[in-house]
Structure 1
């Protein structure tokens, strides 16, 4: 997948060949997926409100009414006022989603890791005022040489003679930075999503090195009692991380597409780390849109991801 433009990093904008490959993958899956038939024992749908009738042997029974998906948005530094613009860390003053949105995923960083979203407190106050369920995401980046020196020896991993240990400590420190920012603004959430995609600074050519950074962050968030999710695409995950099966929650993007494409991305066959797909995203020129997937559309599922303010 092509490099993510730096000035769209906080909104996870995947472009060009990467998007083409992703959309082609989604279309291929959609075209080859088996259609539901009258002999199917169970039916999985996303937003239809009426119960389907399924046939089992010679018995006909009404299937349970499927859970209605919820529609929300993800926000971050692009929605911050332009007055907060800083060199290398822009803001765009984009509009916030409507107050009636069913949930928001708030960006905790401004571009790379270890840089806070400059209006995190204001966006959290907006969510509280409008009683919008909220969770967060944090962009992860590979450390610079300076960051490796600063954070490599700080953390729960003590054998710093091993370069992978130092990288795990950096990932742990990146997560600790984000957790501190959340505490400072009073943001409480049962989950957090790690954003893993092509960034600047670039990820290492060593998959083992990249994994060490991410595993350090996973440990920090889990130690803080949070459910950990991943925002990525199958292509970028494979290029950056290889093929580990962590079983983390997954948040998928379909790029500049549609709700239909996002729903298609909710299916288990798209999973890249072996975990449940809980959110899917698409975007337009104004907003990033998201839809809940499967059982995570239920009240119980939503409560596992979001804090209701």
Structure 2
């Protein structure tokens, strides 16, 4: 997912250790495991040789920002589609996608001025977007970013994928948690409108800071949760017992870091 200070430190330490041993972080492969383990990859893994023998994989569509494309998206999707064959039983999709999310408001490089986007009049539950920094325009912004991810980034048959919304404080967000929720609701509505399934990646702290308390009437309620924060497989397994990020949500996947890669454990 988005690079954090912890991941940077771990990655640097791993690279130094490999260099001393005469190895290379681009060619080192972690040991296989009989657990229901996968990885998520995106632009930081461009050019790296990725492991095989995984239960599932998640590929990042963006390059860390909500409005740009992962330059290795095609190659990484090809890797996932050709090497991941469900060697372990899990209910997780064999290959899923994740997208960076944000709500930059008027500070963004683009902000909607109406409910109209790419030939479609968006059915906006928050009313008419008039270009203001409010919930109505935040909803359209989220809808538009999801449209771009599905249509403009180079993903074939986007309706066939499970889409995870990567919600982290490293991206641009408003202090208004209701507007941030509206943004994420817009993204969810677009993906669901094409027949795709949606889930949320975050930590409890980051989610609370960005989205606040989600009402049960929100379309975010009940979406599967993918929890970050563990440092080991054991910790990731333990995190499966935590509460989901929204009302009615269950924890489907948990993440941990190993050998400079983001590994994930399928709770279900």
TM-score, reference length from structure 1: 0.64
How many Å separate the matches in 2 of 1:152 and 1:12?
32
Matched, 1:104 2:57: yes
Structure having the higher Rg: 1
Deviation at 1:123, TM superposition (A): 0.8
Give the CA deviation at 1:164: 1.4
Match of 1:73 in 2: 39
Match of 1:88 in 2: none
| 1:136 equivalenced with 2:97 (yes/no) | yes
Report the Cα distance in structure 1 between the residues aligned to 2:42 and 2:243, rounded to whole angstroms. 26
Match of 1:272 in 2: 245
Go from structure 1 to structure 2 and tell me whether the alpha carbon gap of 1:113 and 1:106 turns closer, same or farther (over 3 Å shift): same
C-alpha distance after superposition, 1:114-167 (max 9, x if no partner): 111111111111122224420011110123526475434234136124731111
Match of 1:179 among 128, 147, 150: 150
Say which SS state the counterpart of residue 143 (structure 2) adopts: helix
What's the counterpart of residue 3 of structure 1?
none
Find 2:265's aligned residue among 269, 276, 291.
Answer: 291
Counterpart Cα distance in 2 of 1:259 and 1:184: 31
Gaps of 5+ in 1: 1-9, 17-67, 82-93, 297-309
Partner of 2:234: 260
Alpha carbons of structure 1 residues 198 and 223: separation in structure 2 relative to 1, 3 Å: same
Deviation at 1:200, TM superposition (A): 3.5
CA contact (8 A) 1:210 1:241 kept: yes
> Could you list the per-position Cα deviations for residues 42-73 of structure 1 after superposition, in whole angstroms to 9, with x for gaps in the alignment?
xxxxxxxxxxxxxxxxxxxxxxxxxx851111
Instruction: State whether structure 2 residue 154 is matched by structure 1 residue 159.
Output: no
With over 3 angstroms needed to count, the CA separation of the structure-2 counterparts of 1:71 and 1:143, relative to structure 1, is same
Secondary structure in 1 aligned to 2:260? coil
Contact 1:147 1:170 (8 Å CA) reproduced = no
Q: CA RMSD in A?
A: 2.4
Q: Is the 8 A contact 1:229 1:251 kept in 2?
A: yes
Is the contact made by 1:152 and 1:170 (CA closer than 8 Å) also made in structure 2? Answer: no
Partner in structure 1 of residue 25 of structure 2:
none
Report SS of the residue matched to 1:219: helix
The secondary structure found in structure 1 opposite 2:97 is strand
* Greater fraction helix: 1
Alpha-carbon shift at residue 199 of structure 1 (Å) = 2.0
Distance 1:187 1:121, change over 3 A: farther
**Matched residues in 2 for 1:185 and 1:160: separation?**
30
| 8 A Cα contact 1:253 1:282, kept in partner | yes
Deviations 1:178-236 (A, max 9, x none): 111465445664411101110243x1111111111111111111111111100001111
Secondary structure of 2:263's match? strand
